[in-house]
Structures are given as structure tokens and as C-alpha cells.
Structure 1
Amino acid sequence: MLLIAVLVPWLSFFLRGKILSGILCLILQITIIGWLPAALWAVASRVDGKNRTRMRRMERRMARC
């Protein structure tokens, strides 16, 4: 998924259900200069999503104990 976020950032957002962000990222990626910020944004968003999921799991495990 990280490779998709770097190569086609807008698709990364679409696959995670963030349609509006995907459209905005696609508009940004259309310009050559905007491709790098779009790729960085997609990667940062992906990493943030994974971290949030990890934190939720950790909170559930701590609540059980």
C-alpha cells in the first residue's frame, strides 16, 4: 500500500474510502510540481492511519486487563 501511495497518491486515498481527499490529491498530482507534495501527503496519511489503528487496538487490550 505504501508503494501505491508513492506512485499514485490519489488511488491510495480512494482505496481507503477518502474520496474527497483523493480528488484533491489528484488535482494536485496533475501538475508535475504538485506530484511530490501529493505523494508525501498520501504516505503521511497512510502512516497516520496505521498508527491510529494500532493505538485503538492497544487501548482495547489495555481495557481488557
Structure 2
Amino acid sequence: MTLIAILLPWLSFLLRGKILSGILCLVLQITLIGWLPAAIWAVMSLNNSRAERRNRQLIRAIKAK
């Protein structure tokens, strides 16, 4: 998924269900200058969603005890 976020940032957003972010990222990626910020934004967003999922799992594990 990280490779998709780097090569096709807009697709990374669409696959995770963030349609408006994906469209905005596609518009940004259309320009050659905007491709790098779009790729960085997609990778950071992917890492944030992974961290949120990890935190939710930890909270569930703590509550289960």
C-alpha cells in the first residue's frame, strides 16, 4: 500500500474510502510540481491511519482485561 501511496497517491485515498481527498490529490498530482506533495500527503495519511488502527487495538486489549 505504501508503494501505491508513492506512485499513485490519489488511488491510495480512494482505496481507503476517502473520496474527496482522493479527488483533491488527483488534481494536485496532475501538475508535475504537485506530485511530490501529493505523494508525501498520501504516505503521511497512510501512516496516520495505521497508527490510529494500532491505538484502537491497544485500547480494546486494555479494556478486555
TM-score range, shorter chain: over 0.9
Give 1:24-35 correspondences, 5 Å limit: 24-35=24-35
Q: Once superposed, what is the RMSD of the aligned Cα atoms?
A: 0.3
Unaligned 5+ runs, structure 2: none
Q: TM-score, length-normalised on structure 2? A: 0.99
Q: Percent identity?
A: 62
Cα offsets for 1:16-59 (capped at 9, x unmatched) = 00000000000000000000000000000000000000000000
Matched positions, count: 65
Give runs of ≥4 in structure 1 deviating > 6 Å. none
Unaligned 5+ runs, structure 1: none
